[in-house]
Amino acid sequence: MTRSPSKLIPDDFRTLPGLDDLEAVTVVAREPGDGDEAVGYTVFAEGDVPAELGLDRDALTRAGFDPKVGQALVIPSASGPDLVAVGAGVADELDPAALRDLAAAFARATARRARIALVVGGSHGDPTGTVRAVVEGIVLSRYRYRVLKTSPTHTPLAELSLRVAAADAADIAAGAADALVSARAAVIARDLANTPPGWLTATDIGDIAVQLGARFGFGVELFDKAALIELGCGGLLGVNQGSVEEPRMVKLTYTPEAAASAHLALVGKGIMYDSGGISLKPSDPMHLLMKMDMGGAAAVLGAFTGLRDAGVGTRVTGWLMCTDNMPSGTSYKLGDVLVARDGTTVEVKNTDAEGRLVMMDAIALANEENVDAIIDIATLTGAALMALGQSTAPVLANDQRMADLALAASETTDEPLWQLPLERKYRSQLDSDVADISNLGGKYAGATTAALFLDHFVGDTPWAHLDIAGTMQTDKDDSWRSAGATGFGARTLLEIARTFAL
């Protein structure tokens, strides 16, 4: 790895601390008992309150407990474990998203406890799915990026015991295994996006991908600057021009054991740090978040770590387009013309619209492999954040089947997407007087014009585009989304790969 002297990173620095924490958790199917430091019981809006809590509904209400999803009341005990009343709302409305939320509320209320137990009542049509949602909610909410604190106060989860009405031990084992695969994808994406930019360069993410590929069953090929010149990836090279760090294109390949019926491409924006380049960003709090401008690449890499273990039957190829975007004497300039891998000439009207430039080369490469479909994911535009905020990400597509696939997967994972129209009328905003296309649209509909730029390279291949600029991060804990990088998209991409069919 290339390291400047200011980056004296300790040898024992844990690159993926959240993954280490996750892998230390055991999930067991058993009754609450010895060793549990906290035991939670679901309390529905109606019906009996579990007798184990030792309080009736009136007493809980007097203590300020409201049995809705998201509420949890800890009842401390002098001798035994803490008892926790966990709001479960109306029994009929308990879908996977609500189960994830109630489990997160329980896990946050018991954040100081390493060994916790939860008893989930009610009747559940899909016992494995119920367990899966509960375990996801617990482990994702307990995520913390604390590796850079000298004295961390965070208590990692060690053991989770579960009893879920209608689920036997086999259901619990199966649901927990599914949950840990999908949570792993998100946690890896969070770790990568939370890492400071000086501690995670394009070279570093390539090296990490190689290690993850060996562990989780996918191939990794690294393309350095010389290889990118050979390939003619003028977008990634142009953006990299101002940086002392080398770029990396990281190609990931997953081949299922049984013959695959389809081939899906996943493309991720990997701007390790986006200063804006010569079109320098102002030094405001938003700029501070630009270490997460590789959230798309992180989501793709996270999703790849789940493909084998989720038994995905589709062939999947990924491209992570990694570099930082820096101002310097060697930077690419406004007015420069870059030549994309497919030969398209691109006039640079703003060096801060760099994401689309690195993505264009990867989309061209995916098309050369005749993939059946392309999904790209990128922290692409401030306009996405302005339009839909921090909870929901826009999806744009050239094929309604692709939008529907992404929307359905996002329902399953509770990573909300909302479709915006790919309004082709706006395409003329990208016209250039000197080149085939420019990288800057007009004042309005910035998420759409960015997507229209990508669409030029996609051509007729079925495609959906996820703009996660708004959802990559949360300022504070929000149910199972822990403060900091959310890993948004990693679980959804895994679900898209799992359900892919056209």
Contact status: 379 vs ligand BES (CB under 6 A): yes
Instruction: Report which residue type is found at 243.
Output: S
> Which one, 128 or 379, has the nearer CB to Zn ion?
379
Which tokens hold the place of 430? 């990208």
Site string for Mn ion, 343-382 (x = CB under 5 A): ---------x-x----------------------------
Smallest gap from Cβ 274 to Mn ion, in A, equals 4
Query: CA-to-CA distance for 118 and 497, rounded, in angstroms?
Result: 31
> Which one, 274 or 324, has the nearer CB to Mn ion?
274
Helix/strand/coil (H/E/C) assignment for every residue in 172-226: HHHHHHHHHHHHHHHHHHHHHHHCCHHHCCHHHHHHHHHHHHHHHCCEEEEECHH
> Which one, 180 or 450, has the nearer CB to Zn ion?
450
Give the count of residues interacting with ligand BES (CB under 6 A): 18
Per the CB < 8 A criterion, the answer to whether 290 and 397 are in contact is: no
Helices (H) then strands (E): counts for the chain: 15, 19
Query: CA-to-CA distance for 318 and 472, rounded, in angstroms?
Result: 19
> Which one, 293 or 347, has the nearer CB to ligand BES?
293
Helix/strand/coil (H/E/C) assignment for every residue in 58-93: HHHHHCCCCCCCCCEEEECCCCCCEEEEEEEECHHH
The piece of 28-36, 234-242, 309-317, 353-361 that touches ligand BES (CB under 6 A) is 353-361
- Classified as helix, coil or strand, 316 is strand
Cβ neighbors of 335 (< 8 A, separation 6 or more) are: 347, 348, 349
Judge whether 356 counts as a catalytic residue: yes
Query: CA-to-CA distance for 273 and 325, rounded, in angstroms?
Result: 6
Site string for ligand BES, 290-309 (x = CB under 6 A): ---x----------------
How many C-beta neighbours within 10 Å does residue 58 have? 9
Scanning residues 257 to 276, which ones bind Zn ion (CB under 5 A)? 271, 274
> Which one, 21 or 354, has the nearer CB to Mn ion?
354
Judge whether 184 counts as a catalytic residue: no
Contact status: 84 vs Zn ion (CB under 5 A): no
Contact status: 383 vs ligand BES (CB under 6 A): yes
Contact status: 346 vs ligand BES (CB under 6 A): no
Query: CA-to-CA distance for 414 and 391, rounded, in angstroms?
Result: 10
Scanning residues 272 to 301, which ones bind Mn ion (CB under 5 A)? 274
Residue 286, contacted partner among Zn ion, Mn ion, ligand BES, none, CB below 5-8 A by kind: ligand BES
- The active-site residue, picked from 356, 481, 491, 498, is 356
DSSP state letter for 282: P
Contact status: 274 vs ligand BES (CB under 6 A): yes
Residues marked active site are found at 281, 356
Q: Which residues bind Zn ion (CB under 5 A)?
A: 271, 274, 293, 355
Q: Which residues bind ligand BES (CB under 6 A)?
A: 274, 286, 289, 293, 350, 352-355, 379-383, 385, 440, 446, 469
Q: Which residues bind Mn ion (CB under 5 A)?
A: 274, 352, 354
